[in-house]
A = this chain, B = another copy of it.
Amino acid sequence: MRVPKKERQRLLQETIERNPFIKDEELSKQFSVSIQTIRLDRMELKIPEVRERIKHVASEHLDEVKSLSMSEVIGDMIDLKLDDSAISVLDIEKEHVFSRNEIARGHVLFAQANSLAVALINDELALTTKAEIRFSRQVHLGERVVAKARVMKLRGDGRTDVTVESYVGEERVFEGDFTIYRRGEEEQA
């Protein structure tokens, strides 16, 4: 029931990480020590009080919601010449990868490329109708993917061909040929 200090602190850290909502009182019961001991432990481990922990979780949440609804593009657009070319950057984070092997999921790279291709079109309505894509190398957690889109052909009938190539450093990791429909309301993005 009663474990040594080091062990207790390890478990404490884990416990709080798993459930940031837990109060000192509950923790003290769980580890069969006084509240004061728990507080000393938190001090040593630099773990803030419940309310601060909850606030932190909540603000992370808000950040996420914001960054999702703030832009219609996945990744940060760093250059845009309408109907010509565009570049966006995406840093691969935890939520983008398979937890098993820390390799980015295919649809993340696709999403970056697709949203870039759509943003490139100088028209109110732009929807992807077709795409042909190749993943040439895995992308790992922590890597930075730079996607470069270029308009290849502006067809008369409202279709535009866009090619996107994504790189990590010098290496190409993704390639896609997109056909984007503009204006009309009959196709799908």
Contacts and interface: CB of A to CB of B under 8 A. Distances in A.
Nearest to A56: B58
- For the residues of A in contact with B, the DSSP-based class is mixed
27 contacts: A21-B55, A21-B58, A51-B51, A51-B54, A54-B58, A55-B58, A57-B61, A58-B61, A61-B64, A69-B99, A72-B99, A74-B107, A100-B124, A101-B125, A103-B189, A104-B188, A105-B189, A106-B128, A107-B115, A109-B188, A110-B110, A135-B189, A137-B186, A137-B188, A138-B185, A138-B186, A138-B188
Chain A interface size range: 35 or more
Given A51-B51, A135-B189, 6 more contacts: A69-B95, A101-B125, A103-B189, A130-B135, A133-B133, A173-B188
B128 A135 contact: yes
Give this chain's copy count: 2
